[in-house]
Chain A
């Protein structure tokens, strides 16, 4: 294939944060009509490269050329006007505005200076439709799960170019981990959309930790490690093993270990018993028993009520029917405190709004749950605190390994690890993990899954939610299947339980 002129070329990009050299001399080029994967471990510098391009961060060195002319953007809106649309890693929309308003913020269709609300809603509905999403665009964004919010962010960015006809139209589309909380179906819709845009000549930069997705959709890839460029390859020329080796700088044998890992076969006595627990608008009343040392995985499509079920068991939302008994004691579930004091921990899928306190340090974020349970009058002794924090930073390989760093400055995957550490440190009896590996690189993902297995061996019960069915199947003793906000089946895991079988159960929606 004769190489045309790249639409975007970045050369010698340098970015330094106080104490961290996030990018040192990275080159990157993007051709029209290609889908280009940007790969690397957590903290490799992927998001930073995107943010220096779009003007979120200033550039400390290097040049950027867009369509042959040298450019430097001072702000994301400038970048957008130049034809580069971006979906950042953390969804950043206005939760209290409607979906339609979010899609059109800042470029509402107007007539004589007044916003044309009808047109705005109609066009928003059309855009959402095109992505195969069935949602009410007049409802507030916050009424939808994170995955839908992520899709709305994508709709917003691709809508920019072609909806109103003004501006240059999108030349470059940047998607930073857009699929991290999407189910298979949404991923397919997104890929279909990406292919359409690609055919129109749009250049797409795609970040993901799912290597299968890379091989499915991408043409070319650029790999970063520790802020340096380690290679640019055509996807067809490098296999997965080679790619992983490039990313982590060593061979991947330890990644295979998990498959040999045997789930503990005997689970202990009953720990939590939910009888008829439900909430109008959340999940229909369900019965569920969780035993000590048991891993229960929840499977279901987007919006099937997995997260809602977990939130009820934690008291994050208050059930309006049923009873929850933990360790033989009925718990009122009027606030998370009630569940926490019975040893339940809940790691939310939405680390940004429901998880971390971005201004506090890594250390402070890690000890927060433990400290809250001790109350303000009993601070954790400094020596013990530092030891615990150091232990978990090491165990989860949080980078940079600096307890004083502000959590808001960590890379997405490392933030996720901080959130995990926060709850592990409390040594709960039941750990609820909602998408715990969201945004985590493949190496760390295997580590975390191994951790779940070993926690269960030590007698901790785990409720595990993940969009990836394989991940759920690999880890769980029991699989709870949800459909339309109802727990429709609980299947004991075994050789006959396959992703296909689960999908069938979801589709038929019946007890088997």
Chain B
């Protein structure tokens, strides 16, 4: 099969597959919702399916961006959903205790309290993983399980509702015709990219995730770096917690951010960051999170029965993951979309595939089909 160099370069770009999947998912909606791509201006606000996808996807993008850095160091953070709940519960219960719930100072203080709690959770996770050497999946399981209990304690097992105009803005308000949360997300993504790529943090994170022992011998203080990424991840989850509780004007210790950790991990993987650590892509993660959110929207628009929508979602996720596996593409499409040079092979490809074959027990995955 002959391919032009430009097409090859395009299909080999690390964002090609995530974006392709996103576009396909968006197009699937058109037969069911013909005005899917149209955006209307009402009361000075922009409305439309695309706007809603970004709006409803905002908390997921935030959580997934934080998760990306954790995964890049070779870790994982299962506690983000609980952190979402704790932050929302603390902030809302503080606001609801105020005489004037709309007083700016009170709202800021409340958000500050919530975010500090999130940072404390992150420090705890980082401490367990980096200092105590506990496996990340176990270390973060602690807050995942206990954190919801803490959130329940804060809210006394109730759903706390608040009535605060300024607080409503973060997750439900509009600014310059767009949902305010889009600006929050844009700011967090911009800060993350700057923090990782304008400094050497990204390189050191990738090095720690790519080869921990070599990083130690090269003098990287990986303990500090790991604590930093867990704190950052929890902070992102905290902001997402503010957004979710603000959007509903309520804190629900039980359901806020429920299973968001799984969606976030999926978004990271779809975005092309390997769960084994190493190379990461913030842009890929943002697209990955949009893919997940679009999928959720699509499930509603095409009217998949509620009982089966998880199965449907799982099926699509499997297909997406298969599409990203070079081995699978080679089998199905032939050589047209060959190996991604450089990428750790998205999802399907075992680690051993890159350099030398594993000790000849497993067939090393074939990189390309001739």
- The interface of chain A, by Cβ under 8 A from chain B, is 17-18, 54-60, 74-78, 80, 86, 88-90, 92-94, 102, 105-106, 153, 156, 314, 316, 335-337, 340-341, 346, 348, 352-360, 364, 367-369, 371-380, 406, 408, 422
Contact = CB atoms under 8 A, between A and B. Distances in A.
A503 B161 CA distance: 83
B344 interface: yes
Nearest to B208: A357
Contacts of A408: 354-355
Given A76-B363, A336-B217, A358 B354 contact: yes
A263 B363 CA distance: 50
B207 A368 contact: yes
B369 interface: yes
B355 A358 contact: yes
29 contacts: A55-B363, A76-B357, A77-B363, A78-B363, A86-B360, A92-B352, A102-B359, A105-B361, A316-B217, A336-B218, A336-B219, A337-B219, A341-B219, A352-B355, A356-B214, A357-B215, A359-B206, A359-B278, A359-B342, A360-B207, A360-B210, A367-B203, A368-B220, A372-B218, A373-B219, A376-B204, A378-B200, A379-B199, A380-B200
B142 to A, nearest CB: 26
B214 A74 contact: no
Nearest to B204: A376
A89 B356 CA distance: 8
Nearest to A422: B218
Contacts of A376: 199-201, 204, 225
B356 A357 contact: no
A359 B354 contact: yes
A314 B225 CA distance: 22
Contacts of A360: 203, 206-207, 210, 278-279
A87 B220 CA distance: 33
Given A75-B364, A76-B357, 9 more contacts: A76-B364, A77-B362, A92-B359, A102-B359, A105-B361, A353-B213, A355-B214, A358-B354, A368-B215
B341 A18 contact: yes
Which of B210, B344, B362 has the most CB atoms of chain A within a 10 A radius of its CB?
A: B210
A406 B341 contact: yes
Contacts of A74: 363, 366
A54 to B, nearest CB: 8
Top 4 A-B pairs, shortest CB-CB distance: A75-B363, A106-B361, A357-B210, A340-B219
Contacts of B357: 54, 56, 76, 88, 92
A352 B361 CA distance: 20
A388 to B, nearest CB: 14
A372 B224 CA distance: 12
Contacts of B105: none
Q: Interface range on chain B: under 10, 10 to 19, 20 to 34, or 35 or more? A: 35 or more
A106 B359 contact: yes
B213 A354 contact: yes
Contacts of B207: 357, 360, 364, 368
A76 B360 contact: yes
B253 to A, nearest CB: 36
A422 B214 CA distance: 12
A368 to B, nearest CB: 5
B211 A358 contact: yes
A450 B354 CA distance: 34
Given A337-B221, A359-B206, A90 B366 contact: no
A420 B354 CA distance: 22
Contact of B218 (A156, A353, A369): A369
Contacts of B218: 336, 368-369, 372, 422
B131 interface: no
Given A77-B361, A359-B206, A378-B200, A56 B217 contact: no
Interface string B156-182: 000000000000000000000000000
A73 to B, nearest CB: 10
Given A93-B359, A353-B213, A358-B210, A369 B219 contact: yes
A379 B198 contact: yes
A500 to B, nearest CB: 35
Contacts of B360: 76-77, 80, 86, 106
Nearest to B340: A18
Contacts of B198: 379
Interface of B: 12, 198-201, 203-204, 206-207, 210-211, 213-221, 225, 278-279, 341-342, 344, 352, 354-364, 366-370
A338 B368 CA distance: 45
B7 to A, nearest CB: 14
A18 B203 CA distance: 24
A119 to B, nearest CB: 19
Contacts of B216: 335-336
B224 to A, nearest CB: 9
Contacts of B370: 58-60
B199 A94 contact: no
B219 A372 contact: yes
Contacts of A358: 210-211, 354-355
Contact of B368 (A58, A77, A348, A359): A58
A255 to B, nearest CB: 30
B363 A364 contact: no
A377 B204 CA distance: 11
Contacts of A353: 211, 213-214
B199 A58 contact: no
Contacts of B369: 58
Contacts of A102: 359
A75 B341 CA distance: 20
Contact of A379 (B200, B225, B279, B358): B200
Contacts of B12: 18
B358 A371 contact: no
Contact of A357 (B206, B219, B364, B366): B206
Contacts of B362: 77, 106
A90 B214 contact: no
Nearest to B338: A18
Contacts of B352: 92
Contact of B211 (A75, A356, A367): A356
Contacts of A346: 217
Contacts of A78: 363
Nearest to A335: B216
Given A156-B359, A346-B217, A358-B211, A371 B204 contact: yes
Contacts of A374: 200
A235 B59 CA distance: 69
Which of A56, A371, A422 has the most CB atoms of chain B within a 10 A radius of its CB?
A: A56
Contacts of B278: 357, 359-360
A142 to B, nearest CB: 11
Nearest to B216: A336
Contacts of A314: 217
A92 B354 contact: no
A78 B363 CA distance: 8
A156 B213 CA distance: 26
A14 B203 CA distance: 35
A372 B359 contact: no
A54 B278 CA distance: 28
Nearest to A85: B360
Nearest to A348: B217
A325 to B, nearest CB: 20
A367 B356 CA distance: 25
A359 B366 contact: no
Contact of A58 (B344, B358, B366): B366
A75 B366 contact: yes
B221 to A, nearest CB: 7
A359 B219 CA distance: 19
A408 B367 CA distance: 14
A17 B12 CA distance: 13
A286 to B, nearest CB: 22
Contacts of B214: 353-357
